[in-house]
Every structure is written in structure tokens, then in C-alpha cells.
Amino acid sequence: QVQLVESGGGLVQAGGSLRLSCAASGRTLSSYAMGWFRQVPGKEREFVASISRTGDRSDYADSVKGRFTISRDNAKNSLYLQMYSLKPEDTAVYYCAGSDWLVGPSAASIHYNYWGQGTQVTVDS
């Protein structure tokens, strides 16, 4: 079992940057493939980025590729999402997710069995 807590969300102007963090406790993060998802009220949860257990492989949604970077520091039991050139359409609640059976990254939310509570990111025009 692992507990995930996101932080770093907030209000930012379009074109700005923000870094989200996900702190894991209860288990070592190295045992989990990790991902970031986001959700707007009334819409389905959307894949953002994912990273393998060791951090050697990553995957990104086309909408964020080139602007967002997912990374992990297993020694710190932390996952990060660095966001640049933010757009109003990036506004959403961002969720950290983990899988104790995946090794590589995955864009499918059903592959993840642990979720954080979410952190709000709002991008102003």
C-alpha cells in the first residue's frame, strides 16, 4: 500500500510555468510505475504523462508533449510534473497515480490502482 499526496497547484498566467509534486509514503516509490492525469468537471479523466519504475521511459499526451516533463526521484519518494508554456486549456485538477504491477509507463487510467487527492491548476488568459 502506498499513499500519494499532490502539491504545487495554483493560479498562473498563460505562458507561465508550474511544477507539481507527488509525495509517496507507506511504500518505496521505486516499486511503482507512476503517472499524471487531469480532469475538468463534467469531463473524463485525461492522461497527461507517465513514467516507468526506474525513470528510463516516459510517455506524454500529444497535447502536452514538448511543454511538460515528468520525472521521479525514487530516493526522495517523489514524482514531479514540470509544466511550461501553460495554456488556459491546461486548467484542471491534476492527479498523481501509481501502479504496483506496471513496470513501464501507461496512458490508461485503469492500469493504476493508487491515486492522490488531486491539486488544482488554473491558467488565466
- Considering the chain, what percentage of its residues have pLDDT values greater than 90? 98
Average pLDDT over residues 62-80: 97
Per-residue pLDDT tens over the stretch 102-119: 999 999 999 999 999 999
How would you write the chain as a 3-class SS string?
Answer: CCEEEEECCEEEECCCCEEEEEEEECCCHHHCEEEEEEECCCCCCEEEEEECCCCCCEEECCCCCCCEEEEEEHHHCEEEEEECCCCHHHCEEEEEEEECCCCCCCCCHHHCCEECCCEEEEEEC
Per-residue pLDDT tens over the stretch 22-37: 999 999 999 999 999 9
Amino acid 1: pLDDT: 84
The whole-angstrom separation of Cα 71 and Cα 92 is 20
Residue 78, pLDDT > 90, answer yes
Average pLDDT over residues 78-96: 98
Match 509525495 to its residue by C-alpha cell. Answer: 23
